[in-house]
Structures are given as structure tokens and as C-alpha cells.
Amino acid sequence: MESQPPAPASRLGWLDALRGVAALVVVFDHASYTFMPEFRRELMPQFNTSRYGIMVFFLVSGYIIPASLERRGCVRTFWIGRVFRVYPLCAVAVGVLLAAGLLGVAQTPDFGGRSAAAVAVAHATMLQELLGTPSVLLVLWTLSYEMAFYLLVVALFTVRLHQRSTAVAVVLAVTAAVCGTAGLALPPSALSGAIGTGPLIAVAAVTMVAAVSCASAGPRALRVRGGVAGGVLGLVLVAFNGTVPLWEGLVILAVMFLGTAVHRAENGRTTWRYAAGTALVVIVCAVGSAYRYGDGAQFTRRGWILAFLLALLTFGAGLASRHRRVPRPLTGLGAISYSVYLVHPVLLAVIDGTVGRRRYDDPVLEVAFFALLLPLCALTHRYVEMPAQNWGRRLARRVR
């Protein structure tokens, strides 16, 4: 997922370590299609590595993103920070993949006859996965849920309910359980199917621009309306137009707000008992929903549940060791984790389009892929991410 603001190693080095571990697991999951197909077929029904990695990422985002907004105390500078952290590297990665596709050395997604303008606008909102538009990079689907979370966080902040993260997490988790228990399911991208992908993209893009603009400036009444509009947009898209099951979309949001609840407990804004109770509710509701959902070709309840529980245990272990010194390699890996997350699918697409996928396991090539990827990500972090973040900080200081 995305990189976060730098923080003192003594306080947030454990978050860097978690991001680094999660990034490596996600890379392994995607690279196993190419280099370890036999091992993947054996592993995935037992342990969904992709879900493990992204759940760790979501917990970390929930822990730090609302805190970033509250520390700034300014919606405008919050959005400036998000834009300059998320978009520049994403634009570079997408541009390289499209160029590789034009050169015939990589495959690009099939957008099902959608116009280039519609696809571009959907990706510009970063909500494309929730707007019935396949992501250019397969990992961008998680950023759509992150963006929905940003909109909800800003909405709660503008109406001064941002301290209610435990209640929000519980409501989302219980709703997910009710939907899962009742067997309530919507077809993927249900809204897109009902009103059309093009009109939905247009409405969502206009609403998002207006919501962000109003929440960032103007009198308080206008800021509240803008924040609420953005929050409603994010929640509606997750609930009614997601590509994951309804219950899982709500669980993803609940997990992020659980991360926020943990941050509040650590900083004395709520009690650890409330945070632990919230975690218990989220776990019970998520596991119950996954068990009720059952097994399928791309989903096994055992694999999802084990990944989910291990992600929470990993986050808990990191939290428990937060006052210990974190090895420098892990913090360094965490610093480049956003590059690792976005660059690896581009590199895999080029490998698949030229060399092709292995029919049998080849651990040597798997290791060689990591050896090539990590130095490349160090370069993109230094020459793309860091300059963009510095520009964002300077702009934020000016508008403040």
C-alpha cells in the first residue's frame, strides 16, 4: 500500500516493520503465479497470503491515517499530503505498464469496451475498483478501499465524530455479520450494472471533487456538507459496488477503524478494554461472515480465516514490541513498501509477457525476482516518492 509520513523510529518503527513484512508477503503471493504455481495451489486453500498482507496494511493505515488528519487539524493539508504520497508513484507505475503494453512486452487489462476517458477518470479518483472499472495494476483495488476510508475519516472529522472509531468499527463489523448470516449478497459492481459504468463514474467523480473541495475550504456548514457527501460516497460504493463480497467490504472498513481504535487506546483517548472489546467483535463478525460465505474457486473459508487471524496476531505482536528497537533492514523495507507494492506487478507483467510463467516450481527464480525488485524499489522510492512527498510538504506549509 502507500507510504506514510516519517516518524521517530522509537515510536513507529514497528509500523515500518509491519508494512515491510506485509509487502513481501503480497509480492510472494503474486510472484507465485509466475514462479511457484505448484506450491501456490497447495498453499492457497490453507492460507490466503494476499489477504494476510492486505489486512496488515489496512490495520496500519487505520492506525496512522486518522492520526495524521487530527495532528494536522486541517482537511486541506491532509488531502494535499495524501495526493502527493499516493498519486505520483502510481502514475509512474501505470505509465510504465501502459508503455510496456504498447511495446508488446506486457499485457494490460481488458476494460470491456469502456472508453479511455472513463477509465482515466475512474483511476484519477482512485476509486476505480468501486466504479466497475478493472484496475490497470491488480494491486490498485486495495487503494480504492483506502480512498473510501479516507473519505469516511474526513466525514467523521468534519462532523466531530472522529473520536468514535470504536463505535464505527463495531457497527461496520456487526453489519457485515448480519449481511453474511442473512446471505445478503449483491452481484459485483451492482450499481454499475443498474445505472451504467459511465454515468456512475461521472457522478462519483463530480461528487468526490465537490466533496473534497467543500470539506477543505469555506465556512463550517459547507465543510460539513462536503465531508458528509464524501463519506456517503465512499460507504455507498463499498456496500453496493464493490468487487469483493458485501460482508468483506464492510469488514475491510471495520478492520481499518479497529486500527484507529488501537491508536486511541495507546494514546489514552480511550481504554484498552474498549479496544480489546472492539477487536473481539470484529474478529467474531469477520470469521462468522467468512464461514457463512463458504468455499469457492477463488475463496476458501479456511484460507481467508487463517490469513485474517494471523494478520491480527501480526499486528498485535508488532504493537506489543513497539518499544523495542526495530532492525534497520525492516524499517528500511517499510520505507520502500509502497514502491514494492506498486512496482512488483509491473515487473511481473513484463516477465509474464516476455519469458512467460513457469509450469513447475522454480524457487531460484523466485529469489532472483526479489533480488531484482528490491533495489529497483529503492530507486523509485528515492527518485519518485521522496521528491513528491517533499513537494507536498512545501505546498501544505504554504496553504496552511
100-142, pLDDT tens digit by residue?
999 999 988 888 778 889 999 999 999 999 999 999 999 999 9
In this predicted structure, which of 4-18, 25-39, 279-293, 335-349 has the lowest mean pLDDT? 4-18
pLDDT of residue 209: 95
Q: Is the pLDDT of residue 260 over 50?
A: yes
Q: Is the pLDDT of residue 396 over 80?
A: yes
Percent of the chain with pLDDT strictly greater than 90: 73
Span 148-172, pLDDT tens digits = 999 999 999 999 998 899 999 999 9
Cα–Cα dist 308/227, whole Å: 31
The answer to whether the CB of 353 falls within 8 A of the CB of 105 is: yes
pLDDT of residue 1: 57
In this predicted structure, which of 254-263, 309-318, 354-363 has the lowest mean pLDDT? 354-363
Q: What is the mean pLDDT of residues 252-259?
A: 97
pLDDT of residue 113: 76
Q: Is the pLDDT of residue 39 over 60?
A: yes
pLDDT of residue 11: 60
